[in-house]
Amino acid sequence: MQSLKLAVIAAIAIGFGGSAQADLKPSSGFGKPITQAELSAWDIDISTSDGVGLPSGSGTVAQGAKIFAEKCATCHGEGAKGGTQFGQMFGGLDSMTTPKRKLNPSSMFPYAPILFDYTKRAMPMDAPQSLTNNEVYALSGYIYSLSGLVPKNATIDAKYLSNMKMPNRNGFISDDRPDAKAVRCLSKCN
């Protein structure tokens, strides 16, 4: 009985597989080729170590301060001093080599474009991916300026972020404990 049930399930699965494959044939008349514009709305990946993939656009620290007050301060507090959802988001640049590390984009991130990538993708948490590229550049400049990594009168763009030397750039060390060997493998790994 059990094996009959399994056989029926397998037959149904094969049936579905078959019809799904048929739907993929171009002759079905369904669907249309994706355009470059549609694709780029999804393709927001940035290579954070060199900034490749950062979009065009720019924003100033002053604009960032204004946007932050409007769209971020409810959760992050006025001036990113800490709010209902998250603690202070600046300072502590010298803390990373002490037992009391203060983790935030300025103290922790090895590469400046990580802040752009994260903010564009995930913030504001209640409306992710609602910010324009210019707004994200402005916000990145503002957040880094609070730690003194960017001057208050700066205009931030792809080149600016890619060229920033972050204080914790060389602070990451590989885990060389013998029981934690994580060998990178992309094919034929077993």
Q: Is 112 in the site for ligand HEC (CB under 6 A)?
A: no
Cβ distance to ligand HEC smaller for residue 6 or 85 = 85
Length of the chain: 190
Cβ distance to ligand HEC smaller for residue 13 or 66 = 66
| Integer angstrom CA distances of residue 67 from 20, 44, 128, 135, 140 | 47, 21, 15, 7, 11
**How far is residue 177's CA from residue 180's CA, in Å, rounded to a whole number?**
5
Cβ distance to ligand HEC smaller for residue 22 or 125 = 125
Q: Is 86 in the site for ligand HEC (CB under 6 A)?
A: yes
Binding residues with ligand HEC: total (CB under 6 A): 20
**Dihedral angle computed from the Cα positions of residues 118, 122, 127 and 131, in that order, rounded to the nearest 10 degrees:** 30
Member of 59, 76, 113, 134 binding ligand HEC (CB under 6 A)? 76
What minimum distance in Å lies between the beta carbon of 125 and ligand HEC?
4
**The pair of three-digit structure tokens given for residue 115, joined into one six-digit string:** 């802040």
Cβ distance to ligand HEC smaller for residue 10 or 49 = 49
Q: Which of 173, 62, 46, 60 is nearest to 112 (CA)?
A: 46
Binding stretches for ligand HEC (CB under 6 A): 71-72, 74-76, 85-86, 89, 103-105, 115, 118-119, 123-126, 131, 139
